[in-house]
């Protein structure tokens, strides 16, 4: 059957609002009387707050309140409660919020903030994940064992910086090593980096005389905000209302809750009046959470014929000064540690540790970008040791249905998809057979690199979604869901799913772009590439519910049995004679008989969804089911390296994902290319740079560099479509996956071009130069 809306390049619903400047983001709603909060952040990476003098600031014009850590002491965190919204007694990273000034205008608040004098007594710092593991390491948190656990499966170790540990024990390592005729080992480092959503995080809050707390925030998790505000401020859940309009990019960075606590505290301090707190770019980079850092060791063993026999992985995950979702990401990394390869003997120790750096949170790929780099670089080393073509080695070892994941989930075609097809296609896209290293002239080398990936959701086991489908009297639909529109056209995709189910024009499906937690049905969070899947399932359910209502009512109106009827093009018609029909508009708000009597009323469909059979990872062997399915893929990059100065151009970058079903090809391609662009940024230029004192050096876009136009390669994207039996139309999530292995492919290409082992990112020309010099020496 030809589809109406699925597989079509539907233009996003809010497209014209976005190109006319009329689309509104959170900070675009100005109101007279809005007050402004400005943060004062720590200039010390680890220290005791000796004194804070805000006497001068207090006297400044327009200043209404100055808050410090003592104002509303609390500890927050999604996994373990370790973070005060404003530092108390001590600071743990450069950029940590220490005070908040609230004034009539932003200029007045900022002027006062610059007058606050804070003295710190410096403490020794923890500068990298491996240093955090040492017995002599300074403690970032002295009482790690006393923090409240939000989820039971988190295992902090007292008197250490280790906040969580995950173990994977699968198969028999001794057997694996014995069967390994060739082994390779590598150590890899991926530094912290930033999300750089173009809209910096901002929140407005007010407390009404009724006690309702109204929050407006640029958040990926409105329902999470509501829950935690309710909990930490002791207000009934329903009395907290969180509104989220369009969001200017998130990539995971707007899933954690930080500004919201501060804004509510600020409003509290000024009698409930509305207060806006908006990060400057510098604060967004240094004060708000970032991407984790990783030090990884990977050891692979294979038989002479290139079949993997054993894999040993040690991940030391730097979560920065606070845990946030670091422990969850550590689990996610461990449970997928092999990458999409069949390995019967797997040993993985993953530690999540504190450092004196900006704390980390979810970042597109949820830890997968980091460990995948290590795995895919190790695969290239193994290929070299075996004298095998890197694509060939991968092909020999790709995981298939019937194999098990590191956390021992039995894989089926529906759960896993077809990574072999992805690799075949990417190999052709990048034209691998023409040669993976070609000398163009004396100075220029062209080289290619390839890498594979997989990722599942790693969501909480009780994450839910819901949808409400309410009919208008003209037969059109209002779709209301709790997912936030952060960019990937989620809401339009959901409208496509609904239109297809209702067999109607997608233009007749109206989607509410904003989320209001009092009006919108629940959705866990807009993260993990799971919205199309989870909310899509809820939309399907709601459509089914609505169709039932419509058909039953039509059956009465048309004096026939519901079984005789079908719905399409906004008509309910007789299956055996479509010329006999009733317009949906005549049923959507009840059916009115010719005399005026009416039966039925507004058709409102509801649907809900929870992912079945997820389980947490076992503490001793990591057994558990971290997500409902995987999205696998393969990526490749071609570079041209100039040996005169080690500058390089990224010529082409290719990705093939098993998307299950591509619902909106152009949107999907755009999202994947966007992910690739970010990943190439991480591979080539992006990282946090700390000085000796662990002060972050590159807090602005002047010094924190992202790709600009003209620096991008030619992008090639293609799909494999192995349906996921549980998903709407078989669709797998693809929102994150473009980023996951692309930097690995890039660095594989660069290592091949420069003939040095590049085992860290970002690869800047100076790094290649340095490695070549070391090689010479």
Partner 1 sequence: MIPLNFEYYRPETLADTVDIFDKLDAEGKQPMYYGGGTEIISMGRMSNLTTGALIDLKEIADCKVLEYQQEQLVIGSSVTLTQIHETNLFPLLSQAGARIADHTIQNKITLGGNLCGTIIYKETVLPLLLSDSQVFIAGPGGQRTVPINSVFKERMQLGKGEFVAQIKVDKKYVSCPYVHVKQTKQDKITYPLVSICTMAVSGGIRAAFSGVCGFPFRSIAMEEELNDRSRSMEQRIDKAIDLTPGPILADLEGSMEYRKFIIKGLLNSIINQLEE
Partner 2 sequence: MFQLTGEGLIELNVNGETRKALVRPADTLLFALRERLGLTGAKPGCENGDCGACTVLVDGWPIKSCLMLAVEAVGREIQTVEGLNGAPIQKAFVDKFAFQCGYCTSGFIMNCQGLINIHPDASDEVMQEWLQSNICRCTSYQEITEAIKSVLITENT
Binding site for partner 1 (CB under 8 A): 106-108, 110-111, 114, 644-645, 647, 684-685, 689, 697-698, 702-703, 705, 708, 710-711, 762, 764-766, 769-770
CA 736 to centroid of chain Cα atoms: 7
Least Cβ distance, residue 45 to partner 1 (angstroms): 18
Looking at beta carbons only, is 297 or 705 nearer to partner 1?
705
Helix, strand or coil, per DSSP, at residue 570: coil
Per-residue b/e over 605-635, b at no fewer than 16 CB within 10 Å? bbbebebeebebbbeeebbbbbbbbbbbbbb
C-alpha–C-alpha distance, residues 81 and 66, integer Å = 24
| Site of tokens 């929870």 | 610
Q: Which does 16 bind (CB under 5 to 8 A by kind): ligand FES, partner 1, partner 2, none?
A: partner 2
Looking at beta carbons only, is 592 or 666 nearer to partner 2?
666
How is residue 537 written in tokens? 């399932």
| Site of tokens 């692309």 | 742
Length of the chain measured in residues: 777
Q: Which does 464 bind (CB under 5 to 8 A by kind): partner 1, partner 2, ligand FES, none?
A: none
Least Cβ distance, residue 197 to partner 2 (angstroms): 6
Least Cβ distance, residue 486 to partner 2 (angstroms): 6
> Which residue has the closest beta carbon to ligand FES?
198
How is residue 448 written in tokens? 């290619």
Q: Which does 676 bind (CB under 5 to 8 A by kind): ligand FES, partner 2, partner 1, none?
A: partner 2
CA-CA distances (angstroms) from residue 720 to 216, 633, 724?
40, 9, 12
How is residue 669 written in tokens? 């391609």
Q: Is there binding between residue 198 and partner 2 (CB under 8 A)?
A: yes
Looking at beta carbons only, is 501 or 669 nearer to partner 2?
669
What's the distance, Cα to Cα, between the start and end of the chain in Å? 67
Which one among 132, 196, 399, 547 touches partner 2, defined by CB under 8 A?
A: 196
Identify the DSSP state of 558: T
Per-residue contact track with partner 2, 469 to 488, x per CB under 8 A? -----------------xxx
Q: Across the strands, what pairs with 573? A: 566, 581
Its sign, for the CA torsion 633, 608, 463, 230, is positive
CA-CA distances (angstroms) from residue 94 to 287, 358, 359, 360?
8, 7, 10, 13
C-alpha–C-alpha distance, residues 141 and 160, integer Å = 8
Q: Which does 532 bind (CB under 5 to 8 A by kind): partner 2, partner 1, ligand FES, none?
A: none
Looking at beta carbons only, is 178 or 647 nearer to partner 2?
647
Least Cβ distance, residue 199 to ligand FES (angstroms): 8
Contact (Cβ atoms closer than 8 angstroms) between residue 101 and residue 116 = yes
Q: Which does 24 bind (CB under 5 to 8 A by kind): ligand FES, partner 2, partner 1, none?
A: partner 2
Looking at beta carbons only, is 280 or 552 nearer to ligand FES?
280
Footprint of partner 2 on 88-127 (CB under 8 A):
107
Residues at the site binding ligand FES, with contacts judged by CB under 6 A: 198, 249, 487
Least Cβ distance, residue 250 to ligand FES (angstroms): 10
Looking at beta carbons only, is 57 or 535 nearer to partner 1?
57
Which one among 47, 331, 622, 670 touches partner 2, defined by CB under 8 A?
A: 670
Least Cβ distance, residue 196 to partner 2 (angstroms): 5
Looking at beta carbons only, is 9 or 773 nearer to partner 1?
773
| Site of tokens 């400057």 | 280
Q: Which helix (H) or strand (E) holds 469?
A: strand 464-471
Q: Is there binding between residue 41 and partner 2 (CB under 8 A)?
A: no
Q: Which does 583 bind (CB under 5 to 8 A by kind): ligand FES, partner 2, partner 1, none?
A: none
Q: Regarding beta strands 477-481 and 509-511, do their DSSP bridges make them parallel or antiparallel, or are they unpaired?
A: parallel
Q: Which helix (H) or strand (E) holds 51?
A: strand 47-53
Peptide bond before residue 762 is cis, with ω within 30 degrees of 0: yes
Segment near partner 2 (CB under 8 A); pick from 94-102, 470-478, 664-672, 761-769? 664-672
| Site of tokens 């890498």 | 451
How is residue 105 written in tokens? 């205008």
DSSP E strands in 643-692: the ranges are: 648-658
Q: Which does 23 bind (CB under 5 to 8 A by kind): ligand FES, partner 1, partner 2, none?
A: partner 2
CA-CA distances (angstroms) from residue 187 to 174, 294, 370, 373, 748?
22, 10, 13, 11, 15
Looking at beta carbons only, is 502 or 739 nearer to ligand FES?
739
Its sign, for the CA torsion 509, 244, 363, 19, is positive
Q: Which does 518 bind (CB under 5 to 8 A by kind): partner 1, partner 2, ligand FES, none?
A: none
Q: At what angle do helices 222-233 and 259-269 cross, to 10 degrees?
A: 50
Looking at beta carbons only, is 218 or 684 nearer to partner 1?
684
Helix, strand or coil, per DSSP, at residue 694: coil
Q: Which does 273 bind (CB under 5 to 8 A by kind): ligand FES, partner 2, partner 1, none?
A: none
Q: Is there binding between residue 702 and partner 2 (CB under 8 A)?
A: yes
Which one among 63, 112, 163, 247 touches partner 2, defined by CB under 8 A?
A: 247
Contact (Cβ atoms closer than 8 angstroms) between residue 252 and residue 195 = yes
Looking at beta carbons only, is 7 or 568 nearer to partner 2?
7
Per-residue contact track with partner 2, 8 to 27, x per CB under 8 A? -x-xx-xxxxxxxxxxxx-x
Q: Is there binding between residue 422 and partner 2 (CB under 8 A)?
A: no
Least Cβ distance, residue 129 to partner 1 (angstroms): 22
729 phi-psi bin (left φ>0, alpha ψ -120 to 50, beta other): left
For 759, phi then psi, to 5°, come to -115, 25
Least Cβ distance, residue 282 to ligand FES (angstroms): 12
Least Cβ distance, residue 414 to partner 1 (angstroms): 43
Q: Cα torsion at 501, 507, 513, 519 (round to 10°)?
A: -60
Q: Which does 208 bind (CB under 5 to 8 A by kind): partner 1, ligand FES, partner 2, none?
A: none
Q: Number of residues in contact with partner 2, rule: CB under 8 A?
A: 58
C-alpha–C-alpha distance, residues 277 and 300, integer Å = 49
Which one among 678, 696, 739, 750 touches partner 2, defined by CB under 8 A?
A: 678
Segment near partner 2 (CB under 8 A); pick from 39-47, 209-217, 247-255, 378-386? 247-255
Looking at beta carbons only, is 616 or 712 nearer to partner 1?
712
Q: Is there binding between residue 651 and partner 2 (CB under 8 A)?
A: no
Least Cβ distance, residue 237 to ligand FES (angstroms): 32
Helix, strand or coil, per DSSP, at residue 378: helix
Q: Which does 25 bind (CB under 5 to 8 A by kind): partner 1, partner 2, ligand FES, none?
A: partner 2
The candidate with the shortest Cα–Cα distance to 321, out of 685, 77, 119, 71, is 77
C-alpha–C-alpha distance, residues 608 and 623, integer Å = 28
CA-CA distances (angstroms) from residue 123 to 44, 48, 397?
9, 7, 48
Residues that bind partner 2 (CB under 8 A): 9, 11-12, 14-25, 27-28, 30, 107, 195-200, 246-251, 278, 280-281, 486-489, 666-667, 670-671, 673-674, 676-678, 700-702, 706-710, 712, 714-715
């Amino acid at each position: 059957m030809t589809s109406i809306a699925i597989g079509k390049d539907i233009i996003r619903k809010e497209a014209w609002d976005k190109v006319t400047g009329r689309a509104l983001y959170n900070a675009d709603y100005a109101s007279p009387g809005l007050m402004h909060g400005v943060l004062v952040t720590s200039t010390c990476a680890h220290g005791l707050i000796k004194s804070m003098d805000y006497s001068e600031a207090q006297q400044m014009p327009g200043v209404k309140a100055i808050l410090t850590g003592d104002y509303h002491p609390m500890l927050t965190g999604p996994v373990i409660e370790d973070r005060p919204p404003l530092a108390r007694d001590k600071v743990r990273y450069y950029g940590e919020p220490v005070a908040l000034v609230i004034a009539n205008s932003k200029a007045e608040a900022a002027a006062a903030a610059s007058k606050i004098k804070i003295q710190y007594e410096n403490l020794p710092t923890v500068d990298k994940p491996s240093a955090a593991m040492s017995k002599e390491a300074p403690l970032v948190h002295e009482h790690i064992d006393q923090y409240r656990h939000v989820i039971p499966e988190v295992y902090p170790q007292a008197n250490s910086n280790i906040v969580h540990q995950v173990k994977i024990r699968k198969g028999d390592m001794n057997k694996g090593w014995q069967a390994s005729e060739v082994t390779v080992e590598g150590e890899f480092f991926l530094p912290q980096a930033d999300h750089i959503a173009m809209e910096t995080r901002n929140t407005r809050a007010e407390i009404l005389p009724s006690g309702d707390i109204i929050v407006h925030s640029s958040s990926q998790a409105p329902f999470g905000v509501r829950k935690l505000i309710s909990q930490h401020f002791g207000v009934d859940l329903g009395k907290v209302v969180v509104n989220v309009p369009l969001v200017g990019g998130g990539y995971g960075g707007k899933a954690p809750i930080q500004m919201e606590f501060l804004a509510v505290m600020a409003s509290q301090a000024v009698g409930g009046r509305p207060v806006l707190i908006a990060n400057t770019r510098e604060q967004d980079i240094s004060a708000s959470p970032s991407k984790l850092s990783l030090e990884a060791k990977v050891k692979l063993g294979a038989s002479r014929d290139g079949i993997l026999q054993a894999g040993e992985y040690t991940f030391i995950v730097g979560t920065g000064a606070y845990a946030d979702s670091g422990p969850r990401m550590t689990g996610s990394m461990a449970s997928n540690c092999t990458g999409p390869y069949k390995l019967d003997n797997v040993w993985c120790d993953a530690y999540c540790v504190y450092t004196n750096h900006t704390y980390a949170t979810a970042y597109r790929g949820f830890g997968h970008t980091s460990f995948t780099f290590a795995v895919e670089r190790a695969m290239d080393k193994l290929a070299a040791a075996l004298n095998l073509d890197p694509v060939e080695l991968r092909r020999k070892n790709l995981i298939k249905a019937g194999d098990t994941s590191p956390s021992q989930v039995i894989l089926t075609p529906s759960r896993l998809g077809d990574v072999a097809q992805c690799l075949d296609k990417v190999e052709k896209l990048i034209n691998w057979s023409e040669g993976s290293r070609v000398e163009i002239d004396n100075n220029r080398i062209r080289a290619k690199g390839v890498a594979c990936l997989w990722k599942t959701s790693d969501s909480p086991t009780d994450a839910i979604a819901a949808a409400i489908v309410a009919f208008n009297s003209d037969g059109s639909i209002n779709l209301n869901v709790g997912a936030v529109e952060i960019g990937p056209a989620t809401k339009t995709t959901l409208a496509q799913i609904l239109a297809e189910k209702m067999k109607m024009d997608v233009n007749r499906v109206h989607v509410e772009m904003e989320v209001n937690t009092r009006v919108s049905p629940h959705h866990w969070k807009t993260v993990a590439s799971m919205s199309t899947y989870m909310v899509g399932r809820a939309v399907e359910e709601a459509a089914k519910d609505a169709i039932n209502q419509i058909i039953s009512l039509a059956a009465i109106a048309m004096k026939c049995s519901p079984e005789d009827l079908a719905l399409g093009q906004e008509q309910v018609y007789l299956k055996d004679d479509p010329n006999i029909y009733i317009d949906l508009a005549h049923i959507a708000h009840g059916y009115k008989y010719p005399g005026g009597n009416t039966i039925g009323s507004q058709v409102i469909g509801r649907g809900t969804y929870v992912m079945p059979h997820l389980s947490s990872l076992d503490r001793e062997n990591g057994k558990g089911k971290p997500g409902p399915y995987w999205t696998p893929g393969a990526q490749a990059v071609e570079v041209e390296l100039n040996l005169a100065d080690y500058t390089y151009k990224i010529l082409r970058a290719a990705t093939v994902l098993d998307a299950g079903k591509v619902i909106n090809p152009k949107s999907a391609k755009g999202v994947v290319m966007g992910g690739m662009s970010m990943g190439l940024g991480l591979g080539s230029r992006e990282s946090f740079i700390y000085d000796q004192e662990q002060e972050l050096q590159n807090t602005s876009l002047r010094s924190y560099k992202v790709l600009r136009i003209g620096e991008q390669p030619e992008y090639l994207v293609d799909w494999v479509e192995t349906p996921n039996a549980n998903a709407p139309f078989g669709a797998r999530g693809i929102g994150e996956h473009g980023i996951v292995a692309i930097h690995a492919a890039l660095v594989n290409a660069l290592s091949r071009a420069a003939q040095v082992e590049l085992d860290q990112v970002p690869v800047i020309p100076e790094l290649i130069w340095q490695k070549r010099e070391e090689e010479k020496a």
